[in-house]
Amino acid sequence: MRSKNKTALIFIFIFSLILLISLVSCKMSNNKQDKNKDTQVILYFIDGDKSQLKEEKRLVNLESKEDLIKYSVEELKKMPKTVGLQPSIPQDIKINTMVLEGNTLKVDISSQYKDLSAQKQVLLRASLVKSLTEFDFVDLLEIMIEGEPLLGADGKAIGPMSKEDIVLEPSNAITKASLQNVKLYFSSNNAEKLVPEERQIEINPNISLEKYIVEQLILGPNNKELIMTVPPETTIKDIETKDGICYVDLSNEFRTKHWGGSTGETMTIYSIVNSLTELPNVKKVQFLIEGEKQQEFKGHYDFSGLFDRDENLIR
């Protein structure tokens, strides 16, 4: 009797052991299968200097095209896992729709995009294009703004973009240059009126058009009958447009090297203001010196407030 009980116990033990091994093997097999389903996603985030993109690779357990696209766009709005990188899509920008037609992905985003500086717009576009065309089922990306075609600096529709349209140099800077017409205002030779001077400049979409305009004003007029309005020693510390206001931060030389006088101040201030407000996204200008608002420029103007365009000064 004892021998039979002992045999039964051994049988139960062996059966339980076999069952346990089977369960463990099954679980390991399932885990292995799950891992085999992982898909690599490559996301492009903004670097710490806010002028470049860097990639971040991830493995995700997603299969459908819709899920992979949705995941990528949502993650571009969040803080990256890599220290020092920043989201490429601001939180206040909504993704209205994402439709995959063949190998072209159409992404419609909210109008807050237009409030971004030119540099941030370009980084957002480049981030979306480079991240989403990493998938083998997306060749082209077309961005729409509230159902309307996305326009470039020249006012023309940008259209579908491929990863080849975004060129990364070894430094990872985005450098797809193009030509742009700008209208600048310099002083007349009697310093009574502002005279427009149009010129064509080569621009890099990684740099805001506002910065190019102020740089051209610092270089001075091509027309020898016109007079420069900005001291050549001036350097641009920062320039950014938000909600229609262009914040122009200049070095202290802008003030200390200025020749002074009421008329001189007027020509200088409004050559910058009128030139910048030629851009459709700039309505007013706020001046800063070394990052700070100043109560006065050279004694004749309250320099702390916003400046509107003055058509009466234009000849």
Tokens of 288: 């800063």
Work out the burial of residue 100: count CB atoms within 10 Å of its CB; fewer than 13 is exposed, 13-18 middle, 19 or more buried: middle
Name the pTM for this structure: 0.49
Alpha-carbon distance of 269 to 196, in angstroms, equals 15
At position 91, the amino acid (one-letter code) is: Q
- CA 101 vs. chain centroid, Å, equals 26
Alpha-carbon distance of 57 to 54, in angstroms, equals 10
Alpha-carbon distance of 245 to 200, in angstroms, equals 24
Residues of the chain where predicted confidence (pLDDT) is lower than 70: 1-13, 15-17, 19-20, 22-36, 153-155, 167-177, 206
Contact in structure between 279 and 237 (CB atoms under 8 Å): no
Rg (C-alpha) for the chain, rounded Å, is 30
E-strand stretches of the chain: 39-46, 53-60, 95-101, 104-109, 140-145, 148-149, 178-187, 194-203, 236-242, 245-250, 284-289, 306-308
**Phi, psi (5° rounding) for residue 25?**
-65, -40
Of 124, 123, 159, 167, which is closest to residue 142 (Cα–Cα)?
A: 159
Tokens of 116: 């971004």
At position 192, the amino acid (one-letter code) is: E
Crossing angle (nearest 10°) for helices 209-219 and 262-276: 150
Alpha-carbon distance of 44 to 72, in angstroms, equals 10
CA distances to 24, 38, 66, 107, 281 from 71, in Å: 32, 14, 8, 14, 32
Per-residue model confidence (pLDDT) at position 198 = 95
Q: How many CB atoms lie within 10 A of CB 206?
A: 18
Name the β-bridge partners of 100: 105
Per-residue model confidence (pLDDT) at position 35 = 47
At position 146, the amino acid (one-letter code) is: E
Condensed to tens digits (0 to 9), the pLDDT of residues 223-238 reads: 999 999 999 999 999 9
Alpha-carbon distance of 45 to 188, in angstroms, equals 46
What stretches of the chain show up as alpha helix (H) in DSSP? 2-36, 65-76, 118-132, 209-219, 253-256, 262-276
Name the β-bridge partners of 97: 108
| C-alpha neighbours within 13 Å on the C-beta side of residue 225 | 6
Per-residue model confidence (pLDDT) at position 171 = 44
CA distances to 31, 48, 207, 306 from 89, in Å: 34, 15, 18, 29
